[in-house]
Chain A
Amino acid sequence: MNWLRSIFMPEVQGWQYARDVDDIYMFITWVSAVLYAIITVGVCYFAWKYRRRRDNIETPDITHNTMLEIVWTVIPSIPLVVMYFWGFSTYMHARIAPADALEIKVIAKKWAWDFTYPNGMTFGQEMHVPVGRPVKLVMISQDVLHDFFLPDFRTKVDIVPNRYSTVWFQAEEPGEHVVFCAEYCGLQHSDMLAKVVVDTEEQYQQWLEQKAEEAMNMPLPELGKLLYASKGCNTCHSTDGSRIQGPSFQGIWGKTHNFTDGTSAVVNEDYVRESLLTPAAKVVQGYDPVMPSFQGLLREREIQALAEYIKSLQ
């Protein structure tokens, strides 16, 4: 019955947990289908068979039958007990990550993701993981509730401020998988997506090295452009002058910005730095103070790179 499963669920990626979830899902589907068939056929058959004809308004005096009540309570309860224990034990197996898991720290914020690797490097919106190795995510939110939802791996957990939540998964084949934020978090909630890229162990190591090198040697405007996408700046700031959540970056360098508190300032290195680290200090007129702080999340070189990138957008 794989065709039925493939209608309902996204393709599984070989991970045993995801297969187990699908097995339970299909078990419940079949139990439900049988019970529902009994209800539908029974109701429709009775409605037709015992439809009122002239002069048959007399009906038998059937008021109860204790034996029947016990039977139809106990028998459907048996598959329910199976569902409960199967669901519970599968859930427990997926709670505790194996000790050798690759641990990635995740910060969620309106409306972007940060993934920090053991070597200290941070990437936004895209996470690379090696095939065949368990990956454990230790996650925290910087503002409101978010939720890490990876449907291809049947896994999900809320991300809460002031408290760590963890989740783990293991990819068995190379490929790409979408991550949704599944807990409503405001305006751009439905755009708070990320990607899990599954590499072979070799590709994964290459990717790590390449990224480290890029970060060190790349010209600043190019690094800024990379950060603009990976840190999620692009969720709220366009580079073509169009308005999203925040002001566009196009052609603002050297111009004067007016702020909601009546003051104004020229867009220069200092202003960009302040806007990144304490965004609420100066809010451009006509916009809401919704930007999260990047304090502690950007190195000096990265801040400079973003400023250089904005400068290049004339």
Chain B
Amino acid sequence: MAEVLTHTTQATASHPEELNYLNENRGLKSWLFTVDHKRIGVMYFWTIMLMFFIGGVLALVLRTELLTPKQTIVDAATYNQLFTLHGAIMTFMVLVPLIPATLGNFAMPIMLGAKDVAFPRLNLASYYVYVCGAIMAVSAILGGGLDTGWTFYTPYSSTTGGGVSVMTMAAFVLGFSSILTGVNFIATIHKLRAPGMTWYNMPLFIWGMYATSVIQVLATPVIGITMVLLLMERLFQIGIFDANLGGDPVLFQHFFWFYSHPVVYIMILPGMAIISEVIPTFSQKPIFGYKPIAWSSVGIAVVGFLVWGHHMFVSGQSEFAAAVFSFITFLVAIPSGVKIWNWMATMYRGSISLKAPMLYAISFLLLFGIGGLTGLFLGTLAVDVHLHDTYFVVAHFHYVMMGGTLIAFFAGVHYWWPKMFGRMYNETWAAIACLLVFLGFNGTFLPQFILGSRGMPRRYYNYLDQFQFLHVSSTIGSYVLGVGLIMMAVVLIAPLMRKRYDAPSNPWGGASLEWTVSSPAPTHNFHHDPVVTHGPYDYKAARAAEKAGSHA
């Protein structure tokens, strides 16, 4: 029935003279100095996609190297630098800002019924801070590189040469970008809701953004301070982490994971938030259990601060600490898992349209399911001792970070693409790309669970012959994944070559506010101040309102 829905809105899209945020101001300057949240979101989008491309190419080089034990295409020193950069780029420059800075920036103010975020200039500043951080990181690579792993564990990182100092400063600067976005979003959500937009009338995407912003503001300063301490130790030899100077190397791990575990929720909560939009819209049915989903995001954000020690079960921390951290880890697993039942229950008796965003959302459920369940192995103390620092962990967090966050991001990108760029993409090719990504991803990371269980440690350049078969399977999977991602990019970018904006304002039958404005969105989002008359998942009321609007 999408045809019927789009029919009513075609009228708005067929005014070619209508101005929108993309064509109202032209020229490079109008982009570089913009304070429009949509344009900032789009600039973030292309910048982060560039970083994602670099990180992805590094991953393919790594997988190719691992085709054989010993040297395949690069030497050990290069390999160690490559996995460090892959990890650092993907976490600090891609996954952390990924959803809030791109789709959050673009869609959140419209979904709230606001003209912009609370502090538009701060928003632009956060983008340039991010660019500075990214440039610093790239200069660290070019100026000698670093091989500490993205975790920068001391005392290795306080004693090795290369670009560690510059990279830690880059992480510090990138953290500020993250904090600024978080502050901005919290203020926006509190103060700029349209009349009628009560807390429980907000789309769940906004709840996810809110919980994420709280973590960004509270956790990021800790990594900033840790990076400064590491830098002080490298420059001035003050003994904080280096045992030779009287420091405690394990202290660094506590500091590091106090940030870097909550950061996992900075990555996954926005992903869950997107899924909570896509599944109801493509089922044309209200989300099942709005309040539990909304509050579980906040709950995860809080409890997520108390589980960092599960990264350190074999680090020599006390048995008592390990027991407590293991327990809280299981506690935080429950609300994350329960959300999957909610999404499934939303599909039950819905009217399910298997368009590209929904296909990615279903991929998310299947991949994140594996990511979550394999977390149980790692939360269990005795089993974690065996699996810690093996490929099992590598596979687990890729299922959560890529199978979860990135796949959800792709769902969101396909979902809001018409609103962002005003063109529809080819559904058939989008579905084929989604299938390739799904198969390639599983091909890459499923074998790694077995590799890890059988004892293959991570960050290994050389490996025993017995592991080669599984490594080769994983590498083949990664090539399929690479092809799928490139195909997805082509599917999305090809329609942008068309001059005409041909996307209807509400292609999927969504009920939240961003679907009431034309595509691409108008420069000031709304021509009149919107008044919220129905809930974000009240598809019946949305259809009725749309009908009434088009008749008028």
Binding site for B on A (CB under 8 A): 7-10, 20-21, 24-25, 28, 31-32, 35-36, 39-40, 42-43, 46-47, 50-52, 54-65, 68-69, 72-73, 76-77, 80-81, 83-84, 86-88, 90-92, 94-95, 143-145, 147, 149, 151-152, 154-158, 160-163, 165, 178, 180-191
Given contacts A64-B290, A184-B149, contact A161 B249 (CB under 8 A): yes
A303-B372 Cα distance, complex, nearest whole Å: 54
Given contacts A83-B380, A145-B249, A182-B457, contact A188 B76 (CB under 8 A): yes
Picked from B315, B365, B373, B386, the residue with its CB within 8 Å of the CB of A155 is B386
Given contacts A8-B450, A36-B370, A62-B286, contact A154 B386 (CB under 8 A): yes
A9-B460 Cα distance, complex, nearest whole Å: 19
A300-B191 Cα distance, complex, nearest whole Å: 77
Decide yes or no whether B77 CB sits under 8 A from chain A: yes
Instruction: Determine how close the nearest CB of chain A comes to the CB of B223; give it in whole angstroms.
Output: 19
Instruction: Determine how close the nearest CB of chain A comes to the CB of B312; give it in whole angstroms.
Output: 9
User: Would you list 25 pairs from A and B whose C-beta atoms are within 8 A, ordered by A residue?
Assistant: A7-B450, A46-B344, A46-B350, A46-B352, A51-B353, A51-B354, A57-B509, A61-B286, A62-B348, A63-B289, A64-B289, A80-B333, A84-B379, A84-B380, A87-B381, A90-B381, A90-B382, A143-B155, A144-B155, A147-B314, A147-B389, A154-B385, A178-B464, A186-B147, A186-B160
A115-B334 Cα distance, complex, nearest whole Å: 44
What mask results when residues 280 to 300 of chain B are scored 1 for a CB within 8 Å of chain A, else 0? 000111111111100000000
A94-B380 Cα distance, complex, nearest whole Å: 14
Decide yes or no whether B72 CB sits under 8 A from chain A: no
Nearest to A42 among chain B residues (CB) is B344
Instruction: Determine how close the nearest CB of chain A comes to the CB of B415; give it in whole angstroms.
Output: 16
A165-B249 Cα distance, complex, nearest whole Å: 14
A233-B347 Cα distance, complex, nearest whole Å: 63
Contact A156 B388 (CB under 8 A): yes
A94-B385 Cα distance, complex, nearest whole Å: 11
Classify the secondary structure of B's interface with A: helix
Query: Can you list the 4 inter-chain pairs with the closest CB atoms, starting with the nearest?
Result: A151-B455, A87-B380, A162-B243, A91-B381
Decide yes or no whether B14 CB sits under 8 A from chain A: no
Contact A50 B348 (CB under 8 A): yes
For chain B, which range describes its interface: under 10, 10 to 19, 20 to 34, or 35 or more residues? 35 or more
What mask results when residues 202 to 228 of chain B are scored 1 for a CB within 8 Å of chain A, else 0? 000000000000000000000000000
Contact A50 B350 (CB under 8 A): yes
Contact A60 B349 (CB under 8 A): yes
A163-B353 Cα distance, complex, nearest whole Å: 59
Task: Please name all residues of chain A whose beta carbon is closer than 8 Å to the beta carbon of B379 when the two chains form the complex.
Answer: 83-84, 87
Picked from A10, A62, A77, A91, the residue with its CB within 8 Å of the CB of B455 is A10
A6-B322 Cα distance, complex, nearest whole Å: 29
A152-B386 Cα distance, complex, nearest whole Å: 9
Q: Which of B292, B384, B453, B543 has the most CB of A within 10 A?
A: B453
Contact B373 A187 (CB under 8 A): no
Which B residues, 439 to 470, have Cβ-Cβ distances below 8 Å to chain A? 449-450, 453-455, 457-464
A87-B382 Cα distance, complex, nearest whole Å: 5
A25-B249 Cα distance, complex, nearest whole Å: 31
Nearest to B543 among chain A residues (CB) is A57
Picked from A8, A50, A158, the residue with its CB within 8 Å of the CB of B315 is A158
Task: Please name all residues of chain A whose beta carbon is closer than 8 Å to the beta carbon of B156 when the two chains form the complex.
Answer: 144-145, 184-186
Stretch in contact with the other chain, from B27-35, B166-174, B177-185, B335-343: B335-343
Nearest to A40 among chain B residues (CB) is B366
Nearest to A73 among chain B residues (CB) is B338
A186-B159 Cα distance, complex, nearest whole Å: 11
A76-B341 Cα distance, complex, nearest whole Å: 11
Contact B376 A28 (CB under 8 A): yes
Task: Please name all residues of chain B whose beta carbon is closer than 8 Å to the beta carbon of A158 when the two chains form the complex.
Answer: 314-316
Contact A145 B155 (CB under 8 A): yes
Decide yes or no whether B10 CB sits under 8 A from chain A: no
Task: Please name all residues of chain B whose beta carbon is closer than 8 Å to the beta carbon of A61 when the two chains form the complex.
Answer: 286, 540
Instruction: Determine how close the nearest CB of chain A comes to the CB of B507; give it in whole angstroms.
Output: 14
Instruction: Determine how close the nearest CB of chain B comes to the CB of A227; give it in whole angstroms.
Output: 24
Picked from A24, A62, A162, the residue with its CB within 8 Å of the CB of B382 is A24
A129-B50 Cα distance, complex, nearest whole Å: 54
Given contacts A51-B352, A160-B316, A188-B76, contact A83 B460 (CB under 8 A): no
Q: Can you add 5 more A-B contacts, CB < 8 Å, to A10-B455, A50-B351, A149-B455?
A: A80-B376, A81-B330, A83-B379, A90-B381, A145-B156
Contact A9 B334 (CB under 8 A): no
Decide yes or no whether B390 CB sits under 8 A from chain A: yes
Contact B374 A83 (CB under 8 A): no
Task: Please name all residues of chain A whose beta carbon is closer than 8 Å to the beta carbon of B2 when the two chains form the complex.
Answer: 52
Task: Please name all residues of chain B whose beta carbon is closer than 8 Å to the beta carbon of A183 when the two chains form the complex.
Answer: 153, 389
Decide yes or no whether B405 CB sits under 8 A from chain A: no
Decide yes or no whether B321 CB sits under 8 A from chain A: no
Task: Please name all residues of chain B whose beta carbon is closer than 8 Å to the beta carbon of A60 when the two chains form the complex.
Answer: 285, 349
A178-B460 Cα distance, complex, nearest whole Å: 15
Given contacts A39-B366, A50-B348, contact A157 B316 (CB under 8 A): yes
Task: Please name all residues of chain A whose beta carbon is closer than 8 Å to the beta carbon of B147 when the two chains form the complex.
Answer: 186-187
Given contacts A46-B352, A50-B350, A77-B334, contact A83 B454 (CB under 8 A): no
A81-B331 Cα distance, complex, nearest whole Å: 10
Decide yes or no whether B362 CB sits under 8 A from chain A: yes
Given contacts A28-B376, A46-B352, A72-B338, contact A92 B319 (CB under 8 A): yes
Contact B285 A157 (CB under 8 A): no
Contact B330 A84 (CB under 8 A): yes
Task: Please name all residues of chain B whose beta carbon is closer than 8 Å to the beta carbon of A184 when the two chains form the complex.
Answer: 148-149, 153, 156, 458-459
What mask results when residues 117 to 156 of chain B are scored 1 for a CB within 8 Å of chain A, else 0? 0000000000000000000000000000001110001011
Given contacts A8-B450, A50-B348, A145-B155, contact A182 B388 (CB under 8 A): yes
Contact A80 B334 (CB under 8 A): yes
Contact B243 A39 (CB under 8 A): no
Nearest to B285 among chain A residues (CB) is A59
Contact A156 B385 (CB under 8 A): yes
A55-B2 Cα distance, complex, nearest whole Å: 10
Instruction: Determine how close the nearest CB of chain B comes to the CB of A45; give it in whole angstroms.
Output: 9
Contact B77 A187 (CB under 8 A): yes
Instruction: Determine how close the nearest CB of chain B comes to the CB of A27; give it in whole angstroms.
Output: 9
Contact B461 A190 (CB under 8 A): yes
Contact B243 A28 (CB under 8 A): no
A63-B366 Cα distance, complex, nearest whole Å: 23
Nearest to A39 among chain B residues (CB) is B369
